[in-house]
Amino acid sequence: MNKHYPYVNPPLPYDYNALEPYIDALTMHLHHDRHLQTYVNNLNETLKNNPELQSWSLEKLICNAEYMPKDIQVSIQHNGGGVYNHIFYFNGMSNSETRCQAGVLYDALVNEFGSVDAFLQEFKEKALSVFGSGYAWLVVDQNHEIEIITSANQDTPIVQKFCPILAIDVWEHAYYLKHYNERNAYIQNWFYVVDWERANMNYLECADFKGCIDLGN
Ligand code: MN3
């Protein structure tokens, strides 16, 4: 992934069929090669016409979108957010059977939710509660506490000073081919492919996260 324009669609960190049987290869092909690619293309198209933004990082663009003219703002929120969120989601999965007991995140989850099962239950409920398109996230908030939040469309948690640990895309394109309209079954299957070591790494990196202040403002 380039740090600035022109942005590229990074290859998945695993094979398209790596998440079978939980998430099917065709969904991964379409989701990565078409959906994410379209966000990358549209973001580049916007930046092509705004050379002063071409050296900006993705995070800096997202954090500053609200101060830009309306058309650029909307494009960056939709397309920049789409690029950020999808890469985060894809990188957060793995076929390597990582365990949720990985690292200090496990202690934090047990401390906050009582048990991993209780966390999974609450995460599932939050992910099911997203009306229409969006994401559910495990994040660290400004008080350094972990919590579960949801976001609509391609909004990103960094704008609200949440540091992301883990994300599930619950747009229908993420699951419809295999799970039809059964978001519940998709979430259940997604739990099997969460990369907990990556999540733990993200959690550790959240220790000194200050939201957009850190990201080039
Ligand atoms: Mn998606």
Q: What is the pLDDT of residues 80-97, one digit of tens each?
A: 999 999 999 999 999 987
d(CA 107, ligand 1 centre) in Å? 30
d(CA 91, ligand 1 centre) in Å? 13
d(CA 156, ligand 1 centre) in Å? 13
d(CA 180, ligand 1 centre) in Å? 15
- Torsion sign, CA atoms 130, 132, 138, 144: negative
d(CA 22, ligand 1 centre) in Å? 16
Q: Which residues pair with 149 in a beta bridge?
A: 137
Residue with tokens 């690029």: 83
d(CA 89, ligand 1 centre) in Å? 8
Q: Identify each DSSP E strand in 53-201 by its residue range.
A: 134-140, 146-152, 163-169
| Domain boundaries along the sequence of the chain | 25-91, 97-208
Residue 158 has a pLDDT of 94
Percent of the chain with pLDDT over 90: 90
According to the CATH classification, is domain 25-91 in 1.10.287.990? yes
The whole-angstrom separation of Cα 65 and Cα 57 is 12
Global pTM value:
0.95
The whole-angstrom separation of Cα 119 and Cα 110 is 8
d(CA 142, ligand 1 centre) in Å? 27
Percent of the chain with pLDDT over 70: 97
Q: Mind listing the pLDDT tens digit for each residue in 117-161?
A: 999 999 999 999 999 999 999 999 999 999 999 999 999 999 999
d(CA 176, ligand 1 centre) in Å? 11
Class of domain 97-208: alpha beta
d(CA 140, ligand 1 centre) in Å? 22
Pairing, β 134-140 against β 163-169: antiparallel
The whole-angstrom separation of Cα 37 and Cα 83 is 8
